[in-house]
Every structure is written in C-alpha cells, then in structure tokens.
Amino acid sequence: MMYFFDTGKHSMPHIHAEYQDDEAVFSILDGEIMSGSLPRKQMRLVQAWIELYQESLMVDWKLAVSGEEPLRIEPLR
C-alpha cells in the first residue's frame, strides 16, 4: 500500500505491507524494513517485488506524495 501525502513519519520513499496481523514499512530504495515486521517468507517476497518494480514504485511515490492517483502495479501473487 502507498498512502497520499505520506511523508510525515517516514520521509524516505516507502510502501506499507500487511500479512495477517503483521504490518511493515519497506524502503523503496533498498527494500529494507523501516518499521514493523513480517514473517521471513513474506518479507522476502515483498523485497523481491520491490526489486522488480522499483522504478514504477518511485513514479507512484512521487504521484502519491503530490496527492495524485498512483498507477496500478501488479500485486504480489
């Protein structure tokens, strides 16, 4: 997930990922967890997805923090 105007707590480009009752914030720049946690398997899937879509995620980050609608990126499967 990416939220509009989401630069207050984490000014670095990032995404929010949820799995069951866990939530983590991942840096788009390097895939590292900035806060929270996910089970190891899900963490690695999110990091791989970030690596695959990093360029698109950066475009979406710029749109979202400007209040514009981000483009759809293929979700994790």
How many structural domains is the chain composed of?
1
Cβ partners under 8 Å of residue 21, min gap 6: none
- Is 77 part of any domain? no
Distance between CA atoms of residues 77 and 70, nearest Å: 20
Residues 12 and 3: beta-carbon distance below 8 Å: no
Residues 15 and 2: beta-carbon distance below 8 Å: yes
Query: What pLDDT band is residue 11 in, cutting at 50, 70 and 90?
Result: confident
- Is 57 part of any domain? yes
- Is 76 part of any domain? no
In this predicted model, what pLDDT tens digit does every residue of 17-62 receive, in sequence order? 999 999 999 999 999 999 999 999 999 999 999 999 999 999 999 8
Residue 19 token pair? 């799995």
Domain around 29:
14-64
Distance between CA atoms of residues 37 and 58, nearest Å: 22
